[in-house]
Chain A
C-alpha cells in the first residue's frame, strides 16, 4: 500500500510538472503580453517605458529562465505578484478560493445526493413509470449546459418572485443563511448535470449487480429489500460511480467558470478567465496549478477509496 501511494505520488508529481510546462508554454503562445495590453490599450507606446516594465515584471528574460524561476517560486510557496492589480498573487487568490471550493463541494454534494439514490431507484424499479421519469430527468440534465440552466434559474426567479441570490458575496461566517441562499441555486445548477451522469452510471452498474448470484442468494435467504439493495448491491456497484465522481470534480471546476459569472460569485474560476484575458501570468499559472493539484489529489483519494469499498482489491507493490 505504501509503495502504491509513493508510486502514485510520484506520478502525481510528474503530472503536475507536465501541467506546469504546458501551462507556461500555452500562456506564452497566446498573442500579446501584459505590457502590450497596458500600453497599447491606452494608445500609448513608449518603447523605453515598455522595456522598463517588462524588466520589472521579469518577462524580458529567456523563457527557460522565466519557467525555472516561476517553478522554483511555486514550490517554495511564493506566488509572485499580480501584474494587473500590482498585489501579491496570493492576496488576490486567497479570498476567492473558499468561494469556489464552497460552490464545488455543494455542487458535488448535490450531484451525489441526487444522482446515487435516483440511480438506485431507477435500477430497482426498472420499467416502472418512475424509472422512465428519472431517466427523462437525467437525460435533461445531460442535455442542458449548466450556464444555460443557471441563466434560466435567474430569469425564472426574478420573473416569478422578483428575487435573485445576492450579487455581492456573503461569507458563511457573517451570515450563514444568506450565504446558503446565495450558493444553493448555483450549486444546484452545476450539480444537476453531474447528478444526471452519476445517476445513469449508478443505474447501469446497479442493473448488472442486481443480476449477480450473490444478490439472488441474498433475496433467497429472505434478507430485507433495503439491505440487499443499499448494503450489498450498491456497495459493489459503487466503484465506477466513485471513479466518475473523481473525474466529475475536475469537470465541475470548468463548469464553475460560467456559473460564477452568471450568479456573480467572485470565485477563482471566473477570475481565472479575467487573468487570462489580461495575460496576468502569475495569477493564471499559479491558479491553474492549484486547481491541478486539487484535481490530481481528488483522483488519488478516489483510487485509495477502492480498497475500502472492495476489500478484494490489492494494490501491487
Chain B
C-alpha cells in the first residue's frame, strides 16, 4: 500500500510554475516589460509588403511583424537549423510515408487582423500560389521562390485545421523553407494586390500606417494567438537612406536599434559618439562572391578562373574591404555559425588562403599557360553594383588582379540594372554579394549553381553537380547528407565556379533599454517577427 503524499500536488504545481517562469523570463533575469514603441531603420524602403514577391531583406524585416508562418526558427537560438524549428500557425507536424507527405496540424485559435479566422484553406491558397499550381486561386506577378516548392506535387486541406504537402520525392529541406521569412501564410480572402501597400496577416503587429519609401508603423495586435505577446505597443520602421544620418539618429536616441547593412566601422563610429550603445557582431550568411562569366572566353578556361581565384588574397580581403569582420568559407557558411560548410582545416587550404606571394606566382604561371603575360596581358573589366559595400571590395579586387599582371578596370553598374545585367551575363568578371535566405543546401545550391537557374549568374553548369544536388536533397541521414554537400562544395571550389571571398559579418547597435533583439548567425532573413522584443524604460 502506498503512503499518502499530501504535498505532492503542491510541489508539482510549484515545479510547473517555476518552469513557466523560466520560460518567460529572459536570460538576463529581468521580467519583460510591456509597452513602448520600438523605432528602427531598415536596410532600405521595401518595394511592397508581400514577402512572396520580393527578394530583399528589407521586405522580410518590415513585413514579418505582420505575418506568421506554419513554423519558424526559434529567435533565441543563434544558429538556424532543423533542431531550432518551433511551431507558429501549425501546432505540430509530422513526416509520413517515408518523407513523401508532410502533415501540419494547425492552431484553432488564430484570426487574421481583419477578424476572419485562419484555416487550412489559407495555407493551401498561399502555397498553391507560390508553387504556381495550375488550379491556384491567385498568381504572383513575380515569383522568386517558385523553385523552393518545385518538389511539392499537391497540397490538400482535408479539414479546416489539417494541411498535407504531398511531395514528388523526400525533401527534408522543405520544413526549413517553410520557416523562412519569405514564406508567410497569406489570407485567402484578401486580394493579392492589396499586399503592395497594405498588410493583413495573423502576426503580432497590425499595420497602422504605410508611407511608401518613408515610414511603416505597426501597432500591437491585441488578439494575437500567443498570449502575452508582443511586449511592444508598436514598431516604427523609419527609412533613412544615408548611413551617416542613421548613425547620428541612433546616437541622438531617435532610433532604438539600427545596423542592417552596416559594417564594423559604422558600428564603431556609432559607439564612439554614444558609448552606451551595445554593438552586436555576428556572422550573417551573406557572402562576397566573384562571378566569372563561364560563357565568355577566356573565362571558360579553368586555368584563367583558377588564376583569378588565386590572385585574390583572402587575408588581405579580411583586413582590407571587410575591416576584419568576415569568415572564410566555401559555397556554404562554415561551422560554428553555419551548418553545412567545409571544415576549417579544408577552408584553410582553399585557393587564395595560402601564402600570397606563392599564390600570386602560381596565378601568373597559370595565366602564362593560358597565353597571357607581360606582352599580352589579360584585360578584364570588373563589374560591380554602385553601392559602397560592393565598390570597396571590387576596388580591392582590381588592385589584387593588377598585382598578377591582369589589366583590370572597375565598372560600377547602377543598382537598378545590376541584377538584369547579371542575369543576362553581360559582364566578364563581377563582384557580387549573395544573401542566403536559409542555411540549407537546397536553397543555396539549386539557386546559385544549378544549370540554367536564373540566379546562376556565372553560367556555371555541371551535370555531375546537378545530379549530386538532387541526391543530397533527398538524403534523409543528416551525416550522409552533410558528406554529400561537402563533396559538392569541394568540386565547386576546384572548378572556381563562383569563388567565395568570405562571409561578411553583420553589425547591429542598440541602446541598453532594448531587450530581446534577436539576431541569427546563419541568416538575416528569418528573425524579424519581433514579438519578444521589449523596452526596459
| Number of B residues with CB within 8 Å of any CB on chain A | 50
Query: Quick one: which of B137-196 are within 8 Å of A by CB?
Result: 141-144, 146, 193, 196
Of A4-12, A17-25, A84-92, the one contacting chain B is: A84-92
B47 and A84 contacting across the interface, CB-CB below 8 Å: yes
Of A70-78, A153-161, A222-230, A299-307, the one contacting chain B is: A153-161
Q: Across the two chains, which residue of chain A brings its CB closest to B143?
A: A44
Q: CA–CA, A162 to B249, complex, Å?
A: 9
Name the distance in Å between A152's Cβ and chain B's nearest Cβ.
Answer: 10
A37 and B416 contacting across the interface, CB-CB below 8 Å: yes
Q: CA–CA, A164 to B253, complex, Å?
A: 9
Residues on A with C-beta less than 8 A from B252 are: 157-158, 162-164
A42 and B142 contacting across the interface, CB-CB below 8 Å: yes
A277 and B193 contacting across the interface, CB-CB below 8 Å: no
Q: CA–CA, A121 to B519, complex, Å?
A: 60
Which of the four size classes fits the interface of chain A? 35 or more
Residues on A with C-beta less than 8 A from B54 are: 42
Known contacts A87-B197, A262-B242, A274-B45, A40 near B251 by CB under 8 Å: no
Known contacts A38-B141, A53-B141, A85-B212, A43 near B253 by CB under 8 Å: no
B255 and A167 contacting across the interface, CB-CB below 8 Å: yes
Secondary structure class of chain B's binding surface, majority of residues = loop
Name the distance in Å between B139's Cβ and chain A's nearest Cβ.
Answer: 9
Q: Which of B41, B55, B215, B239 contacts A42 (CB 8 A)?
A: B55
Interface string of B420-439 (1 = CB under 8 A from A): 10111000000000000000
Residues on A with C-beta less than 8 A from B41 are: 167
A154 and B245 contacting across the interface, CB-CB below 8 Å: yes
A44 and B255 contacting across the interface, CB-CB below 8 Å: no
Residues on B with C-beta less than 8 A from A31 are: 414, 417
B454 and A158 contacting across the interface, CB-CB below 8 Å: no
Residues on A with C-beta less than 8 A from B414 are: 31, 277
A212 within 8 A of B: no
Name the distance in Å between B378's Cβ and chain A's nearest Cβ.
Answer: 26
B255 and A37 contacting across the interface, CB-CB below 8 Å: no
B144 and A44 contacting across the interface, CB-CB below 8 Å: yes
B96 within 8 A of A: no
User: Max chain B CB contacts within 10 Å: which of A95, A158, A164?
Assistant: A158
Residues on A with C-beta less than 8 A from B418 are: 41
Interface string of B121-146 (1 = CB under 8 A from A): 00000000000000000000111101
Q: What is B's interface to A at a CB cutoff of 8 Å? A: 41, 45, 47, 53-55, 141-144, 146, 193, 196-197, 211-215, 236, 238-242, 244-245, 248-249, 251-255, 273-274, 414-420, 422-424, 447, 453-455
A-B contact pairs, 6 of them (CB 8 A): A41-B55, A44-B454, A85-B197, A154-B248, A162-B274, A264-B249
Taking A38-B141, A167-B238 as given, write out 9 further A-B residue pairs in contact, using a Cβ cutoff of 8 Å, ordered by the A residue number: A36-B417, A36-B420, A41-B418, A45-B423, A85-B196, A95-B211, A159-B273, A164-B248, A261-B242
